[in-house]
Structure 1
Amino acid sequence: MAERKKLHRGDRVSWSSHGSRAHGTVQEEITHRTRAAKRVVAASKDKPQYRVRTAEGRDAVHKPEALHREPG
């Protein structure tokens, strides 16, 4: 089983969004069921998700496998 990707606050990331690449910065790791980015996030300690601030200033929440850490 592959080791889970650990991201940290401030990491620059990108992800696929509607056929193109979106970019942003990790704001926090979510490890419990909560409301974020205008939706309910079913995260847990075993299956965390990350709140990301997009380059346009919006919040998004993604699973770690959807995010790609950018160099720099």
Structure 2
Amino acid sequence: MAKKDQGGKGKKLSQGDDVSWKSHGQEVEGTVKKKVDKRTKAAGRTVDASKDEPQYEVESDKTGRTAVHKPESLRKKGGGS
């Protein structure tokens, strides 16, 4: 059975959502800090985001470091409560 992709276009992520992503070949878990929907500087770099193609600033649970990822790179964890 194929593994279902939970990320990708149309995926709605919100501040506080628990997510995971791949970084340097490892699975990283963290939390969505904010949606970035305009060109801005975040996580130490310029993020070329827009309302049509937003990105998300996330914080690693393990290191506390922040990064910005496109929604297709993020997988929402859990099934909700």
TM tier relative to shorter chain: over 0.9
**1:61 maps to what in 2?**
68
1:26-65 matches, cutoff 5 A: 26-55=32-61, 56-65=63-72
The structure whose residues are more often strand, as a share, is: 1
Unmatched segments (≥5 aa) in structure 1: none
| 4+ aligned runs moved over 4 Å, structure 1 | none
TM-score, with structure 1 as normaliser: 0.93
Identity %: 54
Structure 1 residue 30, shift from structure 2 partner = 0.4
Is contact 2:9-2:71 (8 Å) kept? Answer: no
How many aligned residue pairs are there?
Answer: 71
TM-score, with structure 2 as normaliser: 0.83
